């Protein structure tokens, strides 16, 4: 009978073991996230037609000016105003749906799992929203310019280009602020229905209430430009901006846009996604 003897296996102290090679994983580039967020806006049938409505509304508004406007009103400013009014309603809705769609379509859990840091996703959404707003205004400018040429040819008048670069820049800024307001409502409410209702209260009910208060209360008349963001933003559509008007725009957007946006972003980063 033989006895087996166990040979001890030499062990290496933990601090002397060779380090395991690790592969560094680069984060997803922001440009790729922006491409994904842009594609999301066209993926659904509702999203596609909402985006397409920017071009459709521009063409319809231009055609309406050519058909019904008097000859003396055929100029670039008329076409820009006719196109800008419906776009000022559509663009903020695009901005708020870019956020609320993650919650209404139940894709937020997947999105924030693939990209754990939500701040990068929200940043990509915001940049895409701003890019769409600026691109939409240039599209509207191009459609309006074509309408101006066609309308002038029909009436036999010379085309009038009475929208300067500065005025166009202010129009773009006004619409970008409108999109940011919609985006802010999206991050605050995170519900498509609630955010849309909130936007129409903000854009229709609030200006009427503040305007009525200013009309009947003299003490509020001078205060209105400092508290009514719609009143301050509307001045961007004309050439009457002064240093005081820019200050009023800064104060009102701070109260109605930037502070609520910061609160909403904090809520999105901390809230549980279901």
Domain ranges within the chain, ordered by starting residue: 29-268
Instruction: For the chain, give percent helix, strand, coil, nearest 5.
Output: 80, 0, 20
Which pLDDT does position 1 carry in this prediction? Answer: 47
Tell me, what's the pLDDT at 21?
A: 52
| Cα within 13 Å of Cα(58), Cβ side | 22
Helix (H, G, I), strand (E, B) or coil at 92: helix
pLDDT for res 30: 87
Cα separation, 8 vs 88, in Å, equals 80
Residue partners of 247: CB distance under 8 A and separation at least 6:
none
In order along its 274 residues, the chain shows pLDDT tens digits of 455 555 555 555 555 555 555 556 677 888 898 998 888 888 777 778 888 888 899 999 999 998 898 888 888 888 888 888 888 888 899 889 888 888 877 777 788 888 888 888 999 999 999 999 899 999 989 999 999 999 888 888 888 888 888 888 988 999 999 999 999 999 999 888 899 999 999 988 998 999 899 888 888 888 999 999 998 898 888 767 889 999 999 999 999 999 999 999 998 888 777 6
Predicted structure pTM score:
0.84
What is the pLDDT, as a whole number, of residue 124?
Answer: 92
Which of 134, 144, 132 lies closest to 52 in space, CA to CA? 132
Q: Which of 132, 70, 62 minimizes the C-alpha distance to 95?
A: 132
Give the per-residue pLDDT at 246: 93
């Amino acid at each position: 009978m033989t006895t087996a003897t166990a040979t001890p296996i030499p062990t290496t102290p933990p601090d002397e073991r060779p380090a395991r090679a690790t592969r560094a994983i680069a984060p997803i580039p922001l440009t790729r996230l922006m491409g994904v967020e842009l594609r999301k806006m066209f993926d659904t049938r509702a999203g596609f037609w909402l985006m397409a409505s920017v071009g459709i509304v521009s063409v319809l508004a231009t055609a309406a000016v050519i058909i019904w406007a008097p000859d003396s009103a055929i100029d670039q400013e008329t076409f820009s105003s006719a196109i800008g009014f419906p776009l000022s309603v559509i663009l903020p809705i695009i901005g708020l749906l870019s956020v609320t769609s993650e919650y209404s379509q139940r894709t937020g859990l997947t999105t924030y799992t693939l990209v754990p840091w939500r701040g990068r996703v929200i940043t990509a959404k915001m940049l895409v929203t701003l890019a769409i707003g600026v691109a939409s205004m240039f599209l509207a400018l191009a459609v309006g310019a074509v309408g101006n040429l066609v309308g002038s040819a029909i009436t036999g008048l010379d085309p009038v280009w009475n929208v300067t670069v500065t005025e166009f820049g202010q129009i773009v800024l006004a619409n970008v602020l409108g999109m940011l307001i919609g985006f802010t409502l999206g991050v605050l409410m995170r519900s498509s229905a609630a955010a849309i209702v909130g936007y129409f209260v903000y854009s229709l009910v609030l200006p009427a209430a503040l305007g009525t208060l200013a009309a009947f209360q003299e003490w509020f008349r001078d205060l209105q430009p400092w508290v009514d963001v719609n009143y301050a933003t509307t001045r961007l559509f004309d050439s009457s901006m002064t240093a005081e008007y820019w200050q009023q725009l800064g104060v009102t957007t701070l109260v109605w846009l930037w502070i609520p946006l910061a609160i909403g972003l904090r809520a999105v980063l901390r809230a549980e996604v279901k």
